[in-house]
Amino acid sequence: MLDAYRTESNLSNEQRKSLSQLSKLTEEKQIVICRVDKDGKIVILNYEDYNTIMTKELQQFEKWMCLQRDVMLTLKNGKKIATNLWSYSMI
């Protein structure tokens, strides 16, 4: 029954071997295959380079999150200070 829905591969033998090799290298964490953020192109990187890039990006994100938290605390404290100053001016 399933044989009726089976289709033939449109890859040549060379392409299937290459795909198999890429899959094996990915499983062994020697390479990473991923899409680029904005334009959707596919990139192949060695695992160490990918790891370095991602670590750097995450550190930048963590710095940004800390900065954003500091700004929010400053705004929150500034609002408290402004409220307190307004209360004192009413005395």
pLDDT tens, N- to C-terminus, the chain (91 residues)? 556 666 788 889 999 999 999 999 999 999 999 888 778 888 899 999 988 988 888 887 777 677 666 666 666 666 555 555 455 555 5
Q: What are the residues whose beta carbons fall under 8 Å from the beta carbon of 30, sequence distance 6 or more?
A: 46, 47
Nearest Cα neighbor of 33 from 47, 21, 20 is: 47
User: Can you give the residue ranges of every domain in the chain?
Assistant: 14-89
In angstroms, rounded to a whole number, what is the distance separating the alpha carbons of residues 91 and 66? 38
pLDDT at residue number 76: 65
pTM of the model: 0.54
